[in-house]
Amino acid sequence: MTALTRGAIPAADRVVVKVGSSSISGENAHRIDTIVEALAAAHGRGTEIVLVSSGAIATALPFLQLEGRPNDLATQQAAAAVGQNVLMWRYQTSLDRFGLLAGQVLLTAGDLEHPTPRSNARRAMERLLGLRILPIVNENDTVATQEIRFGDNDRLAALVAQLIGADALVLLSDIECLYTRPPGEPGARPIDTVEADDDMQGYEFGTVVVNSVGTGGAATKVSAARLAAASGVGVLVTSADFVSDALGGREVGTWFVPADVARPLPTGPVGTVPGPRR
């Protein structure tokens, strides 16, 4: 059942959670245990959880003795191959505490643009969920090129939520909620709720942030949240530190109210919006 409010998230049948590189790599690697605890609690309530996790390249940096995110594509691909292995090991080690099993799903933009691989991806994730396995999704950075990338995993998470007909999407950030302008600037106000038809043109979310470990920023989360909400998926944007509160339906973060649309599992290209609810 579509989550129409934050409070409905605990009762949702299917939830996609996205976490970014900076939240789970380097000195923040310990957050994996916190995130897994919250996911395991939701899983225990019967909710089907899909985790979209960035962090492969960032995780590999110390192993490859790199001080920052590499600029050239070949080194990014190599780092992704190393880091994805370590990242999945960390998740599975943490999940072992709860007797849960993870399944890795690596996607490229082309996989969701073309009917056959899109159908394969949906079928694989449906089967994993049916087996009570936690799918962990990431962009397949080892084979993706600049021309065929999602751009950021916030968008990937929105497309995955649409692909599998999720009831809610939780985008975990570095701040508790979105603000009308960068939170350090004078006059910045927290945004509690965004209605489906709200005009956000007056807000200043800045440009995409490219830091030493990943890409993203408030602007990408707003774009992804509006994409998912327009497809009938309620979206919560909050800090990774509040993941338990988010999945528990508490009043945290910024809530994007889902549009009133029919949401059968999509048969056309993801990224499109279904027709109105009858």
- Residues annotated as binding site for ATP? 18, 173-174
- Residues annotated as binding site? 18, 54, 141, 153, 173-174
Would you call 10 helix, strand, or coil by DSSP?
A: helix
**Integer Cα distance of 139 and 182 in angstroms:** 28
Q: What is the pTM of this model?
A: 0.88
**Integer Cα distance of 160 and 154 in angstroms:** 10
DSSP assignment letter at 92: H
Report the chain's terminal Cα–Cα distance, integer Å: 16
Listed in order, strand segments (DSSP E) in the chain are: 14-19, 48-53, 102-107, 134-139, 168-173, 193-194, 209-210, 215-216, 234-239, 254-256
Tens-binned pLDDT, residue by residue, of the chain (278 aa): 789 999 999 999 999 999 999 899 889 999 999 999 999 999 999 999 999 999 999 999 999 999 888 888 889 899 999 999 999 999 999 999 999 999 999 998 888 888 999 999 999 999 999 999 999 999 998 887 654 456 678 999 999 999 999 999 999 988 899 998 888 788 889 999 999 888 777 677 654 443 444 445 788 899 999 999 999 999 999 999 999 999 999 999 999 999 986 555 444 455 544 443 32
- Residues annotated as binding site for substrate? 54, 141, 153
